[in-house]
Amino acid sequence: MEIRFVPGAGYDSNTYLFSGSHPAIVDTGTGAASAERILSATEKIAGCRDVEAILLTHEHLDHAGGAPALREKTGAKIACSKKCAQILKEGSDASARLFGIEPPRFETDRALCEGDTIRLGDDVFLVLETPGHSQGSICLYCDESGTLISGDTVFAGGGVGRWDLPGGDYETLVESIKLLATLDVETLLPGHGPTVERGAKRQVDASLRNLAGWRGREIG
């Protein structure tokens, strides 16, 4: 598995570039500037120039805002959850208030559901619907390598996505992270902050414990 990690700058999310038989981009940052930065990175990676897919982990501007510009430049298809696709098409006043600008409204090309699979590079990832941070959040898991693309659901160091933003919900986030805790995660690729190269299941388990602690409850 060949993955290039492009750390987020400012408000931008992390971006992951997959080279190989099915070149792909995961998450795009906030807009045109982040799109140009990502394109520059793809041009430096052999096997990542002819991007086929742009995968969005959720609908927030810091992850999805650069998608239209990247699609225009590359011709790649945008894939995300059905709920994410609906929100991106219709727009969100709450998202505009959150980020202080009007996010772009655009249609996506492929709607993903729980249990679907998608090829990123040379590997197959399972789609997991993980709402709680946002309504349209998904994670992607490669069983062969134990790689989890977690968006803003869980982070390194036992962190979790905020549930107090529009579309977020604490109880729903608990259930989503309980699902992730059943996986044998070796490598964690989160939406912000550092990645975890080895033993990442411990990080996911810590996220679940921490989420319980913030509400002073036990999660079985």
Q: For the chain, which domains are there?
A: 3-214 (3.60.15.10)
DSSP class of 137:
-
Judge contact between 151 and 139, C-beta under 8 A: yes
Pairwise CA distance, residues 220 & 208, whole Å: 10
Q: What is the pLDDT of residue 220?
A: 47
Share above pLDDT 90 across residues of the chain, in percent, rounded to a whole number: 75
> In a 10 Å sphere around its CB, with 0-12 CB exposed, 13-18 middle and 19+ buried, how is residue 210 labelled?
middle
Q: What is the pLDDT of residue 207?
A: 97
For 38-89, how does the pLDDT look when each residue is reduced to its tens digit (9 = 90+)?
Answer: 888 887 775 566 899 999 999 999 999 999 999 999 999 999 999 999 999 9
**pTM of the prediction?**
0.93
How large is the average pLDDT for residues 122-151?
Answer: 98
Please spell the DSSP secondary structure of 35-81, one letter per residue. HHHHHHHHHTSTT-SS--EEE-S-S-HHHHTTHHHHHHHH-PEEEEE
Share above pLDDT 70 across residues of the chain, in percent, rounded to a whole number: 90
For 160-198, how does the pLDDT look when each residue is reduced to its tens digit (9 = 90+)?
Answer: 999 999 899 999 999 999 999 999 999 999 999 999 999
Residue from 56, 49, 3, 5 nearest 28 by CA: 56
Q: What is the pLDDT of residue 103?
A: 75
Whether residue 218 is predicted with pLDDT greater than 60 in this model: the reply is no
Regarding predicted confidence, which is higher, 206 or 166? 206
Task: List, in order, residues 6 or more apart from 1 with CB less than 8 Å away.
Answer: 18, 20, 121, 122, 123, 142, 145, 147
